[in-house]
Amino acid sequence: MIIQATAVLADVPVETLRTDAIQTFLKQETIVVDIVTDDGAVGRGYSYTIGTGGTAVLALLRDNLLDRLIGRDSRDIEAIWRDLLFSTRATAVGAITSLALAAVDTALWDLRALRAGLPLWRLAGGFRDRVPLYDTEGGWLHLSSDELVKGALASKKAGWPGVKLKVGKPRPGEDLERLAAVRAAVGDDHDIMVDANQALTTAEAIRRAKLFEQVGLGWFEEPVPADDISGHAALAAATSIPIAVGESLYSISHFREYLAARAASVIQVDVARVGGITPWLKVAHTAEAFNVVVCPHFLMELHVSLVAAIPNGGYVEHIPQLRALTRAEMEIADGHAIAPQTPGLGIDWNDDALDDLRVA
């Protein structure tokens, strides 16, 4: 039985300047939830933003959600998730609610895995213990072509199978020049993905996709606004480049609509933004039914275990997120992220660092 549930907010400084076509990472607001049961077990979950809304998530948890956990059986994760969602119907479906639900849900899964004595990747499915990794950290939009090439060559040398580059420069030719420079440097035997962060119109996205096809891309991510399913469907029908979406979708139904419309062929469901591990797995299994691969957005320290759990997992995205809040980093070997083998979520929190970076 749950006897205590608390939430804190920590601000983690960004490790490097991160820019894309629409925004800059300001900081990593990290919302951490601890759930304590009457037998003394503690589950810890988390959620995040890249700079705004963290205090709103914290307020929703403290004012409306955490009290509802007291007295519940921590194993009843589906019932708790549904109850919390329905208790916030006035603000759901939406990002703030999903981020708050995720912090609770991941803590409950941590408890479940600790009790089972299993690592998350095995508890949640158990498909493989490592997954391929691609780097985003060397592909930000403000970097020069030379810097992009340098970053891509470094990750290739380290044995990583792919990189992602931001696109959305004012002129299409400038995007193409940058992509072509990286392709020339890394050769054909390396995946290059691109991400426009919803910056383009559908017509412009179709125009650029035609240009980009000569580069041989792994996917074209968030080419147009994420709520424009028909725009994505039109683009997907017009190009041979796989279309990737998911980081800006907040419920399982949104993913169903995309999949049913054949508007996306890479699903990037984000465990925080979709509301936790419970809905994440439902999206992943729905994608499997459509023969679509799942390559989640960000949160590599948690997504490594989830991608390892499912048969239709693809890449994990390399952007270190929790380095400042943990004692051990995600293990990387031969271009793969290694799923933690310890029971629970496998995140080795540093409570002193969490205290230091706590702002609320």
CA dihedral sign, ordered 28, 307, 73, 346: negative
Stretch that binds Mg ion, among 58-66, 109-117, 187-195, 316-324 (CB under 5 A): 187-195
Task: Tell me whether residue 303 is one of the annotated catalytic residues.
Answer: no
CB of 124 to Mg ion, least distance (A): 23
Task: Tell me whether residue 156 is one of the annotated catalytic residues.
Answer: no
- 3-state DSSP assignment of residue 43: strand
Query: What are the φ and ψ backbone dihedral angles of 55, each rounded to 5 degrees?
Result: -70, -30
Calpha distance 30→353 (Å, rounded):
12
Cα 167 to Cα 24, 104, 138, distances in angstroms: 14, 35, 13
Q: Which of 156, 164, 254, 297 is catalytic?
A: 297
What single string gives the DSSP state of each residue in 218-268? S-EES-S-TT-HHHHHHHHHH-SSPEEE-TT--SHHHHHHHHHTT--SEE-
CB of 163 to Mg ion, least distance (A): 13
Extract the tokens encoding 70: 């007291």
Calpha distance 255→74 (Å, rounded):
27
Residue 135 interacts with Mg ion (CB under 5 A)?
no
Stretch that binds Mg ion, among 143-151, 177-185, 192-200, 205-213 (CB under 5 A): 192-200
Extract the tokens encoding 188: 């054909």
| Window 194-253: residues binding Mg ion (CB under 5 A) | 195, 221
Nearer Cβ to Mg ion, position 44 or 166? Answer: 166
The residue of the chain with the least Cβ separation from Mg ion equals 195
Nearer Cβ to Mg ion, position 221 or 301? Answer: 221
Nearer Cβ to Mg ion, position 191 or 195? Answer: 195
Number of shown-chain residues binding Mg ion (CB under 5 A): 2
Nearer Cβ to Mg ion, position 121 or 220? Answer: 220
Stretch that binds Mg ion, among 66-74, 167-175, 188-196, 336-344 (CB under 5 A): 188-196
* Interaction site with Mg ion (CB under 5 A): 195, 221
For the annotated catalytic residues, the residue numbers are 166, 297
